[in-house]
Amino acid sequence: MSKIAAIIGGGVIGGGWAARFLLNGWDVRVFDPDPEAERKIGEVLDNARRSLPGLGNVALPDEGRLSFHAELAEAVSGADWIQESVPERLDLKQKVYAELEKYCDADAVIGSSTSGFKPSELQKGRGNGGQIVVAHPFNPVYLLPLAEVVTTAANSQQVIARAKEVISSIGMYPLHLKNEIDAHVADRFLEAVWREALWLVKDGIATTEEIDNAIRYGFGIRWAQMGLFDTYRVAGGEAGMKHFMAQFGPCLTSPWTKLMDVPEFTDELVDLIAGQSDAQSGHMSIREMERIRDDNLVGMMRALGANDWGTGALQNAHDKSLEGEAGLVSSIDDIADLSQPVLTQSRVVPLDWTDYNGHMTESRYLDAFAQSTDRLMAIIGCDAEYIASGGSYFTAETHIRHIDEVHAGHPIQIKTRVIMGAGKKMHLWHEMYEGDRLLATGEHMLLHVDLKTRRSAPPAAHIEANLVKLAAAHAALAAPDGLGRAIGAPR
């Protein structure tokens, strides 16, 4: 696979797809007759470059090449993936597919960003209908991982597998819907909530801001990390889902909502909602709101990653798939040159790692070095399985030198040396770099501990042997500047 994606339509969604593919190492070709398309996609890319790399804990691949094309044929020829994101008009989409049929490769997957049309409606009349699937994302595409993949009997298992593989490879979750329905699944939920919200505003029950607060301060956060049914299962307590349904099921017959009764979109209702929305957030530009949204999403998803949960678990899996390309290893046997410091971290400084001075906060240096220690431990065999068996290393002493500042979005690498590894002690030296610029050093003394007694104890023989092997190889290097130094003075 040549990793070439063609984006047909460069609006908000098309631009988001372009950013998602581009920052995951794909070459991206854009076709959009809008003379402002290049500027608009450039602005989306600025936001994506600022936020997406810091979402994970492993460096993304080198950015692909972005190009803009005046001819559809030029954009799609040779492309592995074609993403159609033109306006929601079936006649327009079918016109685009008629053109794609002439020029796209026979093995290309054609995904549609449509939020409402069924794939059978897009495939109708096309000789290459089996190439067309719905691949419906959510804004911002470069951060939110869900893509609803809707297929029909016209799609071969090979096309379906390819579609899911490509979407997974760019860090997204392909939710495969095998039975088509108008508006798929997620948008049907959104439409139900949207209709009820319109009535609440129209009837004077709540303002736009009050409705937004009800969601973002309440069930929205719960849904974000657990979904609908798991949330209700937990609400049922120890008795579980059956108890919840027995307790709250009768409410379904109560006249609480007007979901099947849609208010007329009168000028008065539109003005009312638009006016309240302006009063709520009109003091901020859309770009400012996007950046606040992105910061919040990154923070939430990174927090979920700590528990390997929901979107955080998905990101952790994506990080794992990128480790080899970033130069990271998981075993001492995979280290090409034992005589050199081990690369234990390659990442971008996340948005939430900066402080009031605008650079990486003091505690995050320790956080970063601790993560590098954890990786070094895993490399020598002190991994999750070994720790579960009752042995681990505890940090006894740490000395960090802050040499230069670094800012959010900047790439950093940490290289680790083993100073001593015999017996119960593990003496490590970390150096943090941005390119060739040394940012900080961390010196750490750890003791192997029996987790049952919580006292120091010798490690397993293979753990000590691997540590000694690295220490002996690193001993040939010149002693690092600052090794053993007390605060404020040379040793």
Q: How many CA atoms lie within 13 A of 422 on its CB side?
A: 1
166 annotated among ligand-binding-site residues? no
Instruction: Of 383, 394, 370, 367, give the one whose Cα is nearest residue 332.
Output: 383
Return the bridge partners of 443, or none: 399, 429
Q: Rounded to whole angstroms, how far apart are CA atoms 254 and 223? A: 23
Per-position DSSP letters for 233-260, written without gaps between them: HHHTGGGHHHHHHHHHGGGGGSS---TT
b/e 130-163 (16+ beta carbons within 10 angstroms → b): bbbbbbbbbebbbbbbbbbbbbbebbeeebbebb
Nearest Cα to Cα of residue 97 among 138, 68, 148, 131: 131
Q: How far apart are CA 371 and CA 475, in angstroms?
A: 23
Annotated ligand binding at 16? The verdict is: no
Tokens found for residue 135: 């691949």
Is residue 78 marked as binding?
no
DSSP 264-276: P--HHHHHHHHHH
Ligand-binding annotation for 13, yes or no, is yes
Separation of alpha carbons 253 and 208, rounded Å: 27
Positive or negative: CA dihedral 20, 23, 29, 33? positive
Strand locations in 16-95, DSSP E?
27-31, 66-69, 81-84
Counting Cα atoms < 13 Å in the Cβ hemisphere of 462 gives 11
Longest CA pairwise span in the chain (Å) = 79
**14 is annotated as contributing to ligand binding:** yes
Residue with tokens 């990390």: 225
Q: Is 159 annotated as a binding residue?
A: no
Binding residue positions: 9-14
Binding residue positions for NAD(+): 9-14
